[in-house]
């Protein structure tokens, strides 16, 4: 999402726990005017149209699971609720051909 947003012209505000920062050069974000880093996850969400998270751990990092759970405790996102509202809007659009703004 971080690098893909640049192609789509999206502005990305990113927040991670200390020690888990995104390498801007690797993610092709270096020098991007549409990318800003915040230490506070709530500050990063201010005014956002979309809030999402990445996985906290991956295959091969199982040994770090508990440490990552603690580090990312303040970076929880209830995406299931967000997804429900998007699905309701999509159903309305598909059935009625309009979006109730």
Of 40, 39, 52, 41, give the one whose Cα is nearest residue 10: 52
pLDDT-derived band at 43 (thresholds 50, 70, 90) equals: very high
Distance (Å, whole) CA 77 – CA 63: 23
pTM of the model: 0.63
Q: What is the pLDDT of residues 72-99, one digit of tens each?
A: 999 888 877 777 888 888 888 888 887 6
Distance (Å, whole) CA 64 – CA 72: 12
């Amino acid at each position: 999402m971080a690098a893909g947003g640049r192609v789509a012209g999206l502005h990305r505000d990113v927040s991670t726990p200390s020690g888990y920062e995104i390498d801007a050069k690797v993610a092709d974000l270096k020098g991007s005017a549409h990318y800003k880093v915040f230490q506070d996850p709530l500050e990063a969400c201010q005014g956002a149209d979309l809030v999402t998270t990445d996985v906290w751990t991956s295959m091969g990092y199982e040994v770090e699971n508990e440490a990552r759970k603690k580090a990312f405790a303040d970076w929880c996102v209830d995406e299931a609720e967000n997804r429900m509202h998007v699905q309701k809007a999509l159903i309305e659009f598909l059935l009625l051909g309009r979006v109730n703004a």
